[in-house]
Amino acid sequence: MIGNYLIGLREGLEASLVVCILIAYLVKSGRRDTLLPMWTGVAVAIVISAAFGALLQFGSSSLDFKAQEALGGSLSILSVGLVTWMVFWMRRTARHLKRELHGKLDAALAMGTTAIVATALLAVGREGLETALFVWAAVQAAGSEDGSTQPLIGVALGLATAVVLGWLFYRGALKINLAKFFTWTGGMLVVVAAGVLAYGVHDLQEADWLPGLGSVAFDISSTIPQDSWYGTLLKGVLNFQPDPTVVQVTVWALYLVPTMAFFLAPGRVAPTAAAPKEPTPNDPPQVVPDSRSSAARADAGDGVRDRARGAGARTGGDEG
């Protein structure tokens, strides 16, 4: 439940922040008349995402066992790939998210109402579809096939928390350091994604798409029973399995270790030239050196004196 709460919170807050930024920009631009089209795009994105999640859930239930396992494993791996890309993208662009959305809205406002609906639909729909896919895969990995509603409750609580935080952020009652928030939650989401990936590999093994189903790496079911409270906690948070196969453990390690290393590595910032210091009223006047040579300056001075003499001679002739 905790892992699914984290997914709902992390992915839901991304969508909430996108909506808040869109609303704030339209309000500050004096374009309140475009709020209704914007909300229309958001509503359409939510409906499409919910329909996609329902299609995954009810569509997969009509398949036979091996087809269900093949579909679940394939979508789990796909969702891990999408979430991994989104985690890195959001970590890199969190500080510039407002500027990117403002640029898209500027173009949409110039094109009309339909473009505004499309902008909101695409901005929120991407988050919604990704959330629906990853939540479905995580719920399957958490073992909701036994009828338990705890994973869904965790996701719902996470989404509700994200909506509240987004509203507080819009009202100015909450200051969020987006870079730090998405770094910490992104790191935790990488751990969750590693468990979802291992579970997806197990599904593909049960569907006979991958070998090694009978080759168990270790079995600690007697030490950590799956029906114990700590076994349930590990299953809900990390998608822990007490008897994984060798292929599962290998894929889990090959994903988690390098992905987490790249994610936590400090970003390289290209060196930039130092900005010139702004002058203050108390600063002494700056003397800008002339780039010309002393000989050139001397020639220029002789030219000025010659012109002055010529002007004086003409003046004297006129007086005479």
Burial (CB count <10 Å: 0-12, 13-18, 19+), residue 90:
buried
Query: What integer pLDDT is reported at residue 290 of this predicted model?
Result: 46
User: Rounded mean pLDDT of 15-40?
Assistant: 84
Q: What is the pLDDT of residues 64-76, one digit of tens each?
A: 888 888 888 898 8
Q: Return d(Cα 62, Cα 208) in angstroms, integer.
A: 19
Q: In this predicted structure, which of 15-24, 212-221, 242-251 has the lowest mean pLDDT? A: 15-24
Q: Which two tokens stand for residue 211?
A: 């070998």
Q: What is the pLDDT of residues 262-311, one digit of tens each?
A: 998 876 444 434 444 434 444 444 444 444 444 445 555 555 455 555 55
DSSP secondary structure string, 203-235?
HHHHTTSSS-TT-BS---TTTS-TTSHHHHHHH
Query: What integer pLDDT is reported at residue 276 of this predicted model?
Result: 42
Which segments of the chain does DSSP mark as H helices, in order?
Answer: 2-28, 35-61, 65-93, 97-111, 113-141, 150-171, 178-206, 229-238, 246-264, 294-319
Residues sharing a CB contact under 8 Å with residue 40, sequence separation 6 or more, in sequence order: 117, 120
Query: What integer pLDDT is reported at residue 205 of this predicted model?
Result: 93
With cut-offs at 50, 70 and 90, classify the pLDDT of residue 34.
confident
Query: Among all chains, which residue has been given the structure tokens 């789990």?
Result: 76
Residues sharing a CB contact under 8 Å with residue 176, sequence separation 6 or more, in sequence order: 17, 165, 169
The count of other CB atoms within 10 Å of the CB of residue 58 is 9
The whole-model pTM stands at 0.66
